[in-house]
Amino acid sequence: MIAVHVSLILFLVFAIGLVFALTNGLHDASSVVATFIVCDAATPKQAIGLASAFGLLGAVFGGSQVASTISKVIDLPANTALLPVLLAAILGAAAWNLITWRLGLPSSSTHALVGGIIGAVLVSSGYRHVLWGWNELTGASHQLTGIAEIVAALLFSPLLGFALAFVLEKVMNLLLRNARFSINTRIRRIQWAIAACLAFSHGANDTQKIIGLFTLALAAGGGTVISTAPLWVRICGGTVMFIGTMLGGWSIMKTVGRGIYNIRPIHSLNSQLASVGSILLATAFGAPVSTTHVVVGSVMGVGAADEYRMVHWAIVKDIIVAWVITIPLSAAVSASIYALFAFIFK
């Protein structure tokens, strides 16, 4: 009977985790192609198809550093008692993703997942079993680990995207100050390659987060240590992310592509280049970042560099508020779900 219960919970972890990957595709892939579509470099179907294909490639061949980071943020033994904690965490994150997708807010799936993990572990085991990383940061080593490392990456990455986009926009405006209008045709063509790289980096970074939890769940269910995610887990995560991308989050695309700044081809190119550089750098260091946050930061960067007063700062304020509240609210949802599990199933 115990084995049946373990298998059922493990199945639910994977099922809800795949739903989360689907919502992740809806959220972050919408940001990947938003400027690409708005500047008329591609039709929505073309852009979504490109992002889906290269996002899947990124999920399968993008390495495992980020997955390893995500799986090391809690201090709980990998046994069957960990499975309901992971289930509550993923349920809370998926619920928050669905809410913000419905509202058209470009929220962070990474924030939601981190908040879900924190909330479930706090209720189930206490704050000491969350690897906050503050002791290492203030100690002799001064190293970022655990939650501190993830939060630092989430905060720094959009700032890096903003800075890179700002500089690129200034440089491009200087280099192309005497260019003819026909240069826009070439810029639109170049964006196909850049958009493919951005989609690959999205798949390589974002899909690894849920893959890391899947690997931890497999270890907990089987009572064995799994150092790297099996290939079939990576393919499953990437395929569901592919489906989520194909469905498209059109309301989020409108917010990112039109709500922040009036995007032209050169703006789209610069924001994409800045986003690709920021995300690939984070992936190489195993830092889980939000593609949505990086893209939004880069769009703000090109807008601020081109015409500061024309940036819709009221929209930006709403987006930043959504960023700030995501972790605590998704943590509260996951904590409530775990408490409900504990009450019903004793």
- Three-state DSSP string of 199-267: HHHHHHHHHHHHHHHHHHHHHHHHCCCCCCCCHHHHHHHHHHHHHHHHHCCHHHHHHHHHHCCCCCHHH
CB-facing half-sphere around the CA of 316: CA atoms within 13 A:
19
147 falls in which pLDDT band (50, 70, 90)?
confident
State which of 127-131, 240-244, 245-249 shows the largest mean pLDDT: 127-131
- Using DSSP, state whether 130 is helix, strand or coil: strand
Domain boundaries, the chain: 2-341
**pLDDT by residue (tens digit) across 113-136?**
888 889 999 998 888 888 877 665
Q: Are 321 and 314 in contact (CB under 8 A)?
A: no
**pLDDT by residue (tens digit) across 262-272?**
788 888 899 99
Q: Are 298 and 275 in contact (CB under 8 A)?
A: yes
Q: Could you tell me the CA-to-CA distances from 275 to 57, 201, 239, 255, 298 in Å, in that order?
A: 18, 9, 23, 17, 6
Query: What is the average pLDDT across 296-319?
Result: 82
Residue 169, pLDDT score: 92
**pLDDT by residue (tens digit) across 167-192?**
999 999 888 888 788 888 889 899 99
Q: In whole angstroms, give the CA distance from residue 248 to residue 241.
A: 11
Q: Could you tell me the CA-to-CA distances from 144 to 16, 119, 246, 320 in Å, in that order?
A: 30, 21, 36, 24
Q: Is the dihedral of CA 316, 59, 227, 10 positive or negative?
A: positive
Contacts 24+ apart (CB under 8 A), 178-183: none
The pLDDT of residue 320 is above 80: no
**pLDDT by residue (tens digit) across 182-235?**
888 889 899 999 989 888 887 877 777 778 788 888 887 775 656 666 777 888
The pLDDT of residue 256 is above 70: no
Q: In whole angstroms, give the CA distance from residue 13 to residue 18.
A: 8
The pLDDT of residue 342 is above 50: yes
Q: In whole angstroms, give the CA distance from residue 55 to residue 49.
A: 10
Residue 182, pLDDT score: 82
DSSP 141: S
1 falls in which pLDDT band (50, 70, 90)?
very low
The residue among 329 and 108 whose pLDDT is bigger is 329
Nearest to 263 by CA among 31, 108, 5, 91: 31
Q: DSSP assignment of 40-84, as one string?
A: TSS-HHHHHHHHHHHHHHHHHHS-SHHHHHHTTSB---SSTTHHH
Query: Which residue(s) pair with 130 in the sheet?
Result: 74
The pTM (predicted TM-score) of the whole model is 0.79
Q: Are 69 and 252 in contact (CB under 8 A)?
A: no
